Amino acid sequence: MKFLHYRDLAKTETEFPISAEWGQGRSIFGGLTAALVLVHIESNVDLTGRDLRTVNIHFCGAVIADIPCEFRHRVLSQGRSVIQIEGQLLQEGEVKTEIIACFTTDRISAITIDSPSKIFPVAAQDTQEMNSEFKQGLAPRFVGYFDLRQTNNNLPFTGSDHSLITGWMRFAKPSESLNDATILALIDAWPPAVLPMMTQRAPSSTITWNIEFMHPRAALEVEDMLYYECSAIQSGRGYAHTQGKIYHPNGQLLALSRQMVGVYDKVIT
């Protein structure tokens, strides 16, 4: 089932299972579960005139395929300018994915700082889809739903001396203009930025994730590809911290992303 199928379910239903086609190791792809909790919030709270500014995500446990997922939300605080809402995905009564989303209304301010436009090293039309690993069964099944085009050669598990991952991204079969939930899913489709420095295949998993969305921003169209760049800023004792930037195809900064990733490259005996 495509992302849009589950997005539409999250708008109207509070309980449904997710297919193993979205599997990532023993869990369902975290970008999907976080996006669906956000869709559930946006569909059940009046957010007219408000922009999503930040999302803080905790992946509390593996979401198991084909077991019903329950969606809940509650408003934590609401003022004239800011509303903060908690959303959860539960399975069998246990919280598996939790987010706190902050939405704001525009305010008048004398302070305006614009990030400089990004100059891309490679244009989207000059890249090719990274589908060979998926076809060979080397990438998680959910990757087949995305069109990822890496623009550097820093591939996972190659023993690189740096962690930077850059590239273009969109859904494999674009069918709607990009919004916050779809951007959330796209960002998490990339492998954690620490993986290129690993010398052999080993698991990793995102534990916490923070996204900050920039406003105002230019409109996005169905066929647009977003640009992604991310690197690890620190790693040690089995955990890595990464930070990334996501850009509009016109070079405008769209979002900032930070993750804490569990790294399991050493077997504990």
How many other C-beta atoms can be found within 10 angstroms of the C-beta atom of residue 213? Answer: 18
Q: What is the pLDDT averaged over residues 18-36?
A: 96
Whole-model pTM over 0.85:
yes
> Does CATH place domain 116-269 in 2.40.160.210?
yes
Q: Is residue 107 pLDDT above 70, yes or no?
A: yes
pLDDT on residue 129: 85
What is the average pLDDT value for the chain, to the nearest integer?
94
Q: Is residue 269 pLDDT above 80, yes or no?
A: no
Q: What pLDDT digit, counting tens, does each position of 190-220 carry?
A: 999 999 999 998 889 999 999 999 999 999 9
**In the CATH scheme, what is the code of domain 1-107?**
3.10.129.10
User: In DSSP terms, which residues pair with 90 in a beta bridge?
Assistant: 70, 95
pLDDT on residue 267: 62
For residues 146 and 173, is the Cβ–Cβ distance under 8 A? Answer: no
Tokens at 157, concatenated: 């598990």
Among 35-44, 56-65, 107-116, the range scoring the smallest mean pLDDT is 107-116
pLDDT on residue 140: 84
Instruction: Give residue 237's pLDDT band: very low, low, confident or very high (50, 70, 90).
Output: very high
The domain locations on the chain are 1-107, 116-269
Q: What pLDDT digit, counting tens, does each position of 116-175 carry?
A: 999 999 999 999 887 655 445 568 889 989 999 999 999 999 999 999 999 999 999 998
- Put residue 170 in one of left, alpha, beta given phi > 0 → left and psi -120 to 50 → alpha: beta
Q: What pLDDT digit, counting tens, does each position of 58-96 carry?
A: 999 999 999 999 999 999 999 999 999 999 999 999 999
The percent of residues above 90 in pLDDT, for the chain, comes to: 87
